Amino acid sequence: MASAKLTPLGIAVLELLHERPMHPYEMAALMRERYVDTRVNVKAGSLYHTVERLHRSGFIEVVDTQRDGRRPERTVYGMTQTGLDEFNRRGRELLGDVATEFPAYLSGLAVIDELGREATLNELETRLMRLRAAVASDRAVLQHLAEEKTPEIYWLDWRYSCDHRLFELEWTERLADDLRSGRIPFQDNQPPKLTLITQEDDDERKTS
């Protein structure tokens, strides 16, 4: 009985198998072509491992084997009804649930005062340089997709990623300006004067 939870890469594999049965090499090529690596960590080893796990779980099945000359035999997989059911269930969950995520950037922002002005501004400039390059690349890809008249519903994930990078760029530019100008002053490693809100405080506030 299938019990394994679908990972993002597993979702991406089943997404492709909605179109037609295919072998892992073709899956990898299509993922590169469609920029799936912007939302999923796609590596050859992890892809083949995921395909094997989906097969063991009963989400996909072998439908054919192909041989091209002297090349190794390629196994073609198709999605099972169990896989389709789990894909639909997990897809609804991913789309509807609001999950708590922990971006590494938040941890970096939390230690700015400890790093100090010079180190912080240097690292933020490095981040801004990389973000500007990424945003420029995003715009080129979006223009290509528009020119190719690719239906927008097929690249909503890409559009979200592009908008998120643009937001991060603009937000980080404002942060760097605020730190340079002193609108957000460094505290010179002075212990922060913070008051923790306890559960009792919160309960009292709700009942007052």
Q: What is the pLDDT of residues 62-89, one digit of tens each?
A: 998 876 656 667 899 999 999 999 999 9
For the whole prediction, is pTM greater than 0.85? Answer: no
| SS3 per-residue string spanning the chain | CCCCCCCHHHHHHHHHHCCCCECHHHHHHHHHHCCHHHCCCCCHHHHHHHHHHHHHCCCEEEEEEECCCCCCCEEEEEECHHHHHHHHHHHHHHHHCCCCCCCHHHHHHHCHHHHCHHHHHHHHHHHHHHHHHHHHHHHHHHHHHHHCCCCHHHCHHHHHHHHHHHHHHHHHHHHHHHHHHCCCCCCCCCCCCCCCCCHHHHHHHHHC
Enter the tokens of residue 130: 């990389």
What is the spatial distance between Cα 39 and Cα 158, in angstroms, rounded to a whole number?
8
Predicted confidence at residue 2, as pLDDT, reads 45
Residues with Cβ < 8 Å from 22, sequence gap 6 or more? 16, 30, 76, 77
> What contacts 36, CB < 8 A, 6 or more positions away?
12, 30, 42
Q: What pLDDT, on a 0 to 100 scale, did the predictor assign at position 84?
A: 95
pLDDT of residue 1: 44
128-139 pLDDT per residue, tens: 999 999 999 999
Residues of the chain with pLDDT under 70: 1-4, 67-72, 189-208
Tokens 């942060």 belong to: 175
